Amino acid sequence: MHFYNTYPGMSPEKLTDMRSASVNNDCYALSAVKAGLQKHILYTSHQLHKEIANTIINFEKLSSESTFGWESETSFPKVLGDVIESLAGAIFVDSGYDKELVFQSIRPLLEPLITPETVKLHPAKELNELCQKMHFDMKKPVKSRENGVSSITIEVEANGVTYRHTSNVSDKKIGKKVACKEVLEALKRALSLK
């Protein structure tokens, strides 16, 4: 509703892109870490403790200015995003189901909010749209998983040249994002040379 009211007349597609880039586990996890909320999570799982510690290390490598978009090349423990959602849920119930009060309370954690100028498409969506627009042949992703490592290969044939990237990570969604991002960047470089 915030985007709809703040940017009247925006296309449904652009509104969806803005919502997707700002309402996702990565966005919420980054917001939680930025606010130091991970210090208040009680857990008994050693693995979860390790994942959160790795998130903190990766967070320090990212720009602390942004808590939205698809910049991260790592996955975040779902529990970090759940902290933001739980806070919002608690405020929602305690406020007598006042959505506006929830947004006013949670908004400072999510700042800076995305704008039409700062929105970035998910690399998979951007690559798919570029391939459709330019009539490039995007092959079906090749996926495999072995010893806890997901492998995903993204391949696009464009103007007789094959652009391919294989990503090997523990999280297949991150793997797809990284592989698409690499192929997209290679295609953009090639297209700018012509």
Which residues partner with 47 through β-bridges?
A: none
Q: What is the pLDDT of residues 59-116, one digit of tens each?
A: 776 655 455 555 666 667 888 899 999 999 999 999 999 999 999 999 999 998 889 9
Q: What residue segments make up the domains of the chain, in order of their start?
A: 2-110, 123-193
Return the pLDDT at 175. Answer: 84
The model carries a pTM of 0.73
Handedness of CA 90, 64, 80, 154 (dihedral sign): positive
Burial of 112 (0-12, 13-18, 19+ CB in 10 A): exposed
Q: By C-alpha distance, which of 86, 67, 63, 53 is closest to 24?
A: 67
Token digits of residue 188: 């953009």
Residue 74, phi then psi, degrees to nearest 5: -135, 160
Q: What is the Cα–Cα distance from 99 to 96, expressed in whole angstroms?
A: 9
Domain made up of 123-193: CATH architecture: 2-Layer Sandwich (3.30)
Q: What is the pLDDT of residues 145-194, one digit of tens each?
A: 888 788 999 999 999 999 999 988 777 888 888 899 999 999 999 988 55
